[in-house]
């Protein structure tokens, strides 16, 4: 069983090596002529007047939290989906419906709190 | 199942084939993209290097390697260098569990006095046929966010930062719809294994006892919603127009790779096109019947394998062209609209579709 994951491991290794090879090829073959203006951060050709690492809207943080909540729910649905066909019954269907309804309450709450609106 | 030398050899062969395809997808798709956009916008496009400008992308690739490798002042040196490799990593590996042809038993052969393929082992045209199947896909695909966020943050540039943050918010939002839309497919297949998903689709729906329709999930009466949700989310996941807020050149210069040049930039570019290829392969596998040829029974021999693999390639190519077609036809959305659609439309639609499919199965209609 575990052996079947071995090819994925090989592929992961190959992918990492490939990335390293591309980057080092570029380092070896590319030119190395630096000057301060070439290395300055891009700002449409003028010197940078404010800072680069700015504050980010808190909405992005909110979205990340919501994602974790709903992704866990997706993780709960996966095992249910796999056995559903073999253990089929309306009881199993009702259980899932209850789960989704509970989730729906939270979803409506978040919607009403305007967490999905970007204003 | 023990893992012997034959298995390892076959795995390496399969990895080589897939990597060859994935690495060539970028130059070919760049060419298709440029010629396609030229066709749509009524201009010639690249037509100087090689026939129809076919070698243009290969010339570009060579140029990328020979360009100067810059780390801008103020950038976090290690993360800045690492980010393109991190971006490439999931793009190359996500394809590992997607089957790309019908399996067949290898004939016993004698080469150089050695007997090969004793007991006729099964050749499965998928790098790793693991029972976690689609979970592996989502686990690896979700790593794509890291490349973008690390690139955006480490560049020390506000355009990069905002491009990276926006892209990550967008990708995690649509990843939800993507994972939930896939649940409906799993309900029907009853397995996470993508080979099982495809085998389920090789059957037929019979209409009025006469008309046979291939049992691809798109044609299923309960599943076309999931198909739409999944394909649109696939566009958002790969940061393609109309959802390319990672780049949004009108607002953010070039988004998260503003500060990147030479091969580092090329790696992001490659990752984008490879992700497109993987997403197309995934849509084909989950909804369009995988390698199944409609109204044709692929024989369990190498001929059947070649035919089905070619047909799989054709399906993926068509979807890849749709990616290009959409990009040059539909304008970019507004960012608030994008998030709104993701959370208020696609997420409930995906969940609704799960309920519908489950009800269909419980009622015995599917």
pLDDT attached to residue B236: 85
Considering the domain boundaries, does residue A26 fall inside one? yes
Tell if the CB–CB gap between A56 and B14 is shorter than 8 Å.
no
Instruction: Round to whole Å and give the CA distance between B61 and B28.
Output: 11
B204-207 and B211-214 strand pairing: antiparallel
Q: What pLDDT, in 10s, does the model give residues B194-222? A: 888 888 888 887 777 778 878 788 787 77
Tell me how far CA of residue B261 lies from CA of B64, B78, B257, in angstroms. 8, 16, 8
Do residue A81 and residue B187 have CB atoms under 8 angstroms apart?
A: yes
Q: Would you call A82 helix, strand, or coil by DSSP?
A: helix
State both tokens at B353: 């579709």
Q: Read off the tokens for B208.
A: 């009025």
Whether residue A66 lies inside any domain: the answer is yes
Domain residues for the domain of A85 are: 2-42+57-112
Structure tokens at B135: 């979970």
What is the pLDDT confidence band of residue B248, given thresholds at 50, 70 and 90? low
Q: What's the number of domains chain A is made of? A: 1
CB contact under 8 A, A16 and B85: yes
Residue A118 lies in a domain: no
Q: How many CB pairs under 8 A join A and B?
A: 215
Q: What is the pLDDT of residues A73-111, one digit of tens each?
A: 888 888 888 888 888 778 888 888 898 898 889 889 988
Distance from CA of B45 to the nearest CA of A (A): 28
Complex prediction ipTM: 0.83
**Domain regions of chain B by residue span:** 5-362
pLDDT in tens, B255-274: 788 888 888 888 888 888 88
Cβ–Cβ gap A38/B70 under 8 Å: yes
Residue B131 to residue A4, Cβ atoms within 8 A: yes
Cα separation, B146 vs B151, in Å, equals 8
Share of chain B above pLDDT 90, in %: 2
Asked if residue B322 lies in contact with residue B235, where contact means CB atoms within 8 angstroms, the answer is no
Residues 98-117 of A with CB under 8 A from B: 100, 103, 107, 111, 116-117
pLDDT number for residue A44: 72
| Residue A14 belongs to a domain | yes
Cβ-Cβ contacts under 8 Å, A17 against chain B: none
Model pLDDT for residues B281-302, shown as the tens digit of each residue: 999 998 888 888 887 777 777 8
Inter-chain contact B157–A30, Cβ cutoff 8 Å? no
In a domain, A49, yes or no: no
Sign of CA pseudo-dihedral A106, A111, A113, A118: positive
CB neighbour class for A6 (10 Å; exposed up to 12, middle 13-18, buried from 19):
middle
Cβ-proximal residues to B157 (8 Å cutoff; 6+ apart), any chain: A41, A42, A43, A52, B72, B258, B259
Taking a contact as any Cβ pair under 8 Å apart, which residues of chain A between 25 and 44 contact chain B? Answer: 25-27, 29-34, 36, 38-44
Name A37's Cβ contacts closer than 8 Å, sequence gap at least 6: none
Contacts by A39-42 with C-beta closer than 8 Å and gap 24+?
A39/B70, A39/B71, A39/B72, A39/B73, A40/B72, A40/B73, A41/B72, A41/B73, A41/B74, A41/B155, A41/B156, A41/B157, A41/B259, A42/B72, A42/B157, A42/B159, A42/B253, A42/B258, A42/B259
pLDDT higher than 80, residue A117: no
- Judge whether residue B97 has pLDDT over 70: yes
Q: Residue A78 domain-assigned?
A: yes
Residue A50 inside a domain? The answer is no
pLDDT given for residue A54 in this prediction: 75
Other C-beta atoms within 10 Å of A68: how many?
A: 9
Looking at residue A25, its pLDDT comes to 85
Q: Which two tokens stand for residue B78?
A: 């290690």
On whether the CB atoms of residues B356 and B225 are closer than 8 A, the answer is yes
Residue located via tokens 């395809």 = B21
HEC sequence for chain B: CCCCHHHHHHHHHHHHHHHHHHHHHHHHHHHHHHHHHHHHCCCCCCCCCCHHHCCHHHHHHHHHHHCCCCCCCCCCHHHHHHHHHHHHHHHHHHHHHCCCCCCEECCCEEECCEEECCCCCEECCCCCCCCCCHHHHHHHHCCHHHHHHHHHHHCCCHHHHHHHHHHHHHHHHHHHHHHHHHHHHHHHHCCCCHHHHHHHHCCEEEECCCEEEECCHHHCCCCHHHHHHHHHHHHHHCCCCCCCCCCCHHHHCCHHHCCCCHHHHHHHHHHHHHHHHHHHHHHHHHHCCCCCCCCCCCCCCHHHHHHHHHHHHHHHHHHHHHHHHHHCCCCCCCHHHHHHHHHHHHHHHHHHHHHHHHHHHHCCCC
**Stated length of chain A:** 119
* Residue B1 pLDDT greater than 70, yes or no: no
pTM metric for this prediction:
0.87
């Amino acid at each position: 069983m575990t052996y079947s994951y071995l090819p994925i491991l090989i592929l992961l290794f190959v992918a990492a090596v490939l990335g390293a090879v591309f980057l080092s090829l570029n380092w070896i073959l590319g030119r190395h002529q630096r000057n301060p203006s070439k290395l300055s951060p891009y700002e449409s050709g003028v010197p940078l007047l404010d800072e680069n690492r700015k504050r980010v809207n808190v909405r992005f943080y909110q979205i990340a939290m919501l994602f974790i909540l709903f992704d866990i729910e997706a993780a709960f649905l996966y095992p249910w989906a796999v056995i559903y066909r073999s253990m089929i019954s309306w009881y199993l269907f009702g259980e899932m419906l209850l789960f989704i309804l509970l989730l729906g309450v939270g979803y409506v709450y978040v919607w009403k709190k305007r967490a999905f609106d970007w204003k | 199942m023990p893992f012997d030398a034959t298995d390892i050899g076959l795995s390496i062969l399969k990895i080589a084939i897939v990597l060859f395809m994935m690495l060539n997808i970028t130059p070919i798709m760049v060419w298709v993209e440029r010629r396609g956009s030229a066709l749509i916008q009524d201009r010639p496009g690249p037509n100087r290097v090689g026939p129809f400008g076919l070698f243009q992308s290969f010339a570009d690739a060579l140029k990328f390697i020979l360009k100067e490798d810059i780390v801008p002042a103020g950038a976090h040196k290690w993360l800045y260098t690492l980010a393109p490799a991190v971006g490439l990593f999931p793009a190359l590996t996500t394809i590992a569990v997607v089957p790309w042809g019908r399996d067949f038993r290898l004939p016993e052969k004698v080469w150089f006095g050695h007997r090969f393929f004793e007991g006729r082992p099964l050749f499965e045209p998928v790098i790793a046929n693991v029972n976690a199947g689609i979970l592996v896909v989502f686990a690896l695909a979700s790593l794509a966010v890291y490349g973008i966020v690390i690139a955006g943050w480490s560049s020390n540039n506000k355009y990069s930062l905002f491009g990276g943050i926006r892209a990550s918010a967008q990708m995690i939002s649509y990843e939800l719809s993507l994972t939930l839309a896939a649940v409906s497919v799993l309900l029907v297949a009853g397995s996470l294994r993508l080979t099982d998903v495809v085998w389920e689709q090789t059957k037929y729906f019979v209409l009025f006892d006469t008309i046979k329709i291939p049992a691809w999930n798109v044609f299923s009466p309960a599943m076309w919603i999931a198909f739409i949700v999944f394909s649109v989310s696939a566009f958002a996941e790969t940061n393609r127009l109309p959802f390319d807020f990672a780049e949004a050149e009108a607002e953010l210069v070039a988004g998260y790779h503003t500060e990147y040049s030479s091969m580092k930039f090329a790696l992001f570019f490659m990752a984008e096109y490879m992700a497109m290829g993987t997403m197309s392969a995934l849509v084909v596998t989950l909804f369009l019947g995988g390698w199944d040829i409609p109204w044709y029974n692929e024989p369990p021999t190498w001929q059947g394998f070649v035919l089905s693999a070619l047909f799989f390639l054709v399906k993926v190519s068509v979807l890849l062209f749709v990616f290009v077609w959409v990009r040059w036809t539909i304008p970019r959305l507004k960012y608030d609209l994008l998030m709104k659609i993701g959370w208020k439309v696609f997420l409930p639609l995906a969940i609704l579709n799960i309920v519908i499919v489950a009800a269909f199965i419980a009622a015995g209609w599917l």
